[in-house]
Amino acid sequence: MEEYQRGLAQAEDQKVSDAIASLEASVKAVPTAAAQETLALLYQKAGESRRAMQLAGQAVSTAREAGDAVRTAKAERVLSAVSVSGSAPVTVSKSCPSGAALVGPKLDLPPGGDSFESATALVPCVYKGALDTQNGQWQYYKLSVPQGQTFHVLMRTRDANAASTDIRLHGPDGGMVGGYSAFGESNVAKPIEYKAEAPAVVFVSVSGGVRGSAFDLSLR
């Protein structure tokens, strides 16, 4: 709390670097959603979009785990704000939890890039979307596929108030391998696959009702 209060005071005095240092200490000690949100906005102000989006995503997770609907909504607004302003890709550093499945443990889906060039790197796992996209925007992700393995994509829409959700799989050159739109609650769509004849980086893009949807991105 002392570091958090010091960070807020430094931020008000426009001492951005000092404020970031204090709030990093606060988050390290007690990772509250409020501290993560404030720190995300400070990193955005400092031009470090990658760290801003990472912290905003953590704030959403912290608020959801606490079951605080108001704090979750605020954290989602912060995530949306720093995602719009930042185009730097974010790499998921967490390992996939044991037993990850469409119904089961998942990683939170980080903000995606707005193009193939800025696509966010992911590890094979099952992900839960954080925010719906707006105005037909697509979010882009990329994954590495070893030679001889098949990349498998499967999606389930969220189980309440589901919006139409679109997903596409693209090959290394960006060409679309397959895609579909899913409608209705808890709708499991057909899988899409890409077999790598040589080591490759493939892309997945999503649009629409991303929030709460589950995305199984696996290697076989």
* Domain region containing 41: 2-85
* Paired sense of beta strands 176-182 and 165-170, if any: antiparallel
Question: Based on the domain organization, do 61 and 113 belong to the same domain?
Answer: no
Question: Based on the domain organization, do 201 and 125 belong to the same domain?
Answer: yes
For residues 67 and 104, the answer to whether their CB atoms sit within 8 Å is: no
Domain stops at, among 19, 50, 85? 85
Question: Based on the domain organization, do 73 and 115 belong to the same domain?
Answer: no
- For residue 165, the model assigns a pLDDT of 93
Total domains in the chain come to 2
Domain stops at, among 55, 85, 115? 85
Mean pLDDT by 10 residues, the chain (220 residues): 64 70 81 82 76 78 79 80 54 70 90 89 90 88 91 93 91 94 87 92 94 93
CATH code of the domain covering residue 7: 1.25.40.10
Question: Based on the domain organization, do 122 and 198 belong to the same domain?
Answer: yes
Question: Based on the domain organization, do 71 and 9 belong to the same domain?
Answer: yes
Residue 98 lies in a domain: no
Question: Based on the domain organization, do 59 and 157 belong to the same domain?
Answer: no
- For residue 10, the model assigns a pLDDT of 61
Residue 211 lies in a domain: yes
Question: Based on the domain organization, do 80 and 167 belong to the same domain?
Answer: no
Residue 94 lies in a domain: no
Question: Based on the domain organization, do 130 and 198 belong to the same domain?
Answer: yes
Q: How far apart are CA 175 and CA 158, in angstroms?
A: 28
pTM over 0.95: no
Q: How far apart are CA 185 and CA 121, in angstroms?
A: 28
Residue 112 lies in a domain: yes
Question: Based on the domain organization, do 111 and 214 belong to the same domain?
Answer: yes
Question: Based on the domain organization, do 114 and 194 belong to the same domain?
Answer: yes
Question: Based on the domain organization, do 53 and 124 belong to the same domain?
Answer: no
Closest by Cα among 127, 142, 46, 134 to 86:
46
Residue 38 lies in a domain: yes
Domain stops at, among 50, 85, 120? 85
Q: How far apart are CA 29 and CA 15, in angstroms?
A: 21
